[in-house]
Amino acid sequence: GLPPMSRGKERQKLAEMRKKELGIRPKKQTMQVKKIAMLRASTAWRVKNRGGFDTRTKKTKSTQVRESALFRPMRSIGVVTDGTPMAFERVDEKNTLVCSTGRSFSVIVADEQFKVVQTGPRLNERINAILMVGSVIFVALQRDIVAFHRLAELARFVGHESTPTVMCAVGHQFIISASETEALVFRIMDMDMGNNRRGEDDGSGSVKSCHAHGRLEYIGYWGYITAL
């Protein structure tokens, strides 16, 4: 007879031959098939969810929660509005928002929580655009642009023939305001804040009027200015 080890090997070979005849695959091959199936499933999931929500479960200390890719942490700040004039500036190391409320505006500190710290005076005309340069707030009305510092009116920038709807700052020296037919350039230092916080009287009882240093007129069929 054969030694015990040889008999065991023969039995193993006979068992493998019977499995092949019956179509039964070895365990190693079955595991490979499972791995391939899992890989195909994960690839299909990635293709399906490439541009949508991330619905995969994320393990936490307490339980598993579902999260959306829209609400992942980001180091950015932005504004989403339905057309309400709004401006953002960092003043005294605080994130400050200025938002129009129709014929007035509100100053909001947006650090740990949103808090209204100041409310501007009620104006005679509706606000069409807001710009903030440092601690100075520029408000575009029907024709004029009014500058405020700590809610005190400093000066009025005049010269627009149509309603300005867009404003932007070029450093701390100039502001550009645009309407449907023109774009004007104003010099911020024309307000002369150092000499008189409330501007200079021009003889009519009003604050100082600042005129444009440059003008760009364009033809209407070019399209309207929507951003600067």
What is the DSSP secondary-structure string of 23-55? TPPPHHHHHHHHHHHHHHHHHHHHHHTSSS---
Q: In terms of Cα–Cα distance, which of 227, 157, 140, 166 is closest to 199?
A: 157
Q: What is the pLDDT of residue 115?
A: 84
Whether 81 is covered by a domain: the verdict is no
Check which CATH number belongs to the domain holding 202 and give it: 2.130.10.10
Question: Does 61 share its domain with 93?
Answer: no
Residue 80 lies in a domain: no
| In a shared domain, residues 49 and 134 | no
**Shared-domain flag, residues 62 and 95:** no
| Residue 186, domain member (yes or no) | yes
69, 100, 117: which is the final residue of a domain? Answer: 69
Other Cβ atoms less than 10 A from the Cβ of 131: the count is 23
For 111-156, write each residue's pLDDT tens digit: 777 788 889 999 999 999 999 998 899 999 999 999 998 888 989 9
Summarised one tens digit per residue, pLDDT across range 84-104 is: 888 888 888 888 889 999 999
Question: Lowest mean pLDDT: which of 63-67, 122-126, 132-136, 170-174?
Answer: 63-67
Tell whether the model's pLDDT for residue 227 goes beyond 90.
no
Domain assignment of residue 118, yes or no: yes
Per-residue pLDDT band for 180 (boundaries 50, 70, 90) equals confident
As to burial, measured by CB atoms within 10 angstroms (0-12 exposed, 13-18 middle, 19+ buried), residue 149 is middle
**18 within some domain:** yes
Residue 223, Cβ neighbours under 10 Å: how many?
A: 9
173/134 same-domain check: yes
Residues 37, 113, single domain; the answer is no
Cα–Cα distance for residue pair 159/179, rounded to 1 Å: 11
Which residues lie across from 155 on neighbouring strands?
147, 208
Instruction: Name 68's Cβ contacts closer than 8 Å, sequence gap at least 6.
Output: 53, 54
Q: Per-residue pLDDT for 63 more than 50?
A: no
As for how many domains the chain has, the answer is: 2
Q: Measured between alpha carbons, how far is 78 from 16 in angstroms, rounded to an integer?
A: 67
CA 92/CA 134 separation, integer angstroms: 9
Residue 36 falls inside a structural domain:
yes
Q: Which structural domain range is residue 142 located in?
A: 86-222
55 shares a domain with 123:
no
The answer on 44 and 131 residing in a single domain is no
Domain boundary among 18, 41, 69: 69
| Residue 172 CB contacts under 8 Å (≥ 6 apart), including other chains | 133, 134, 188
Domain presence at residue 151: yes
65 plus 125 within the same structural domain = no
Same domain, 46 and 101: no
- Which of 56-65, 75-84, 93-102 has the lowest average pLDDT? 56-65
At residue 170, what is the residue type? V
Domain end point (choices 19, 35, 69): 69
Q: Are residues 53 and 105 in the same domain?
A: no
Answer whether residue 77 is part of any domain. no
What proportions of the chain, in percent to the nearest 5, are helix, strand and coil?
A: 20, 35, 45
What is the separation, in whole angstroms, between the first and last Cα of the chain? 98
Other C-beta atoms within 10 Å of 111: how many? 10
| E-strand stretches of 79-207 | 86-91, 94-100, 105-110, 114-119, 129-133, 136-140, 145-149, 152-158, 166-170, 174-178, 182-187
For residue 203, what pLDDT is reported?
A: 44
- pLDDT, tens digit (0-9, with 9 covering 90-100), for 188-202: 888 865 444 444 444
CA 200 to chain centre: 38
> Looking at this protein, which amino acid is placed at residue 107?
V
- Whether residues 197 and 104 fall in one domain: yes
User: Facing residues of 58 across strands?
Assistant: 65
Same domain, 104 and 9: no
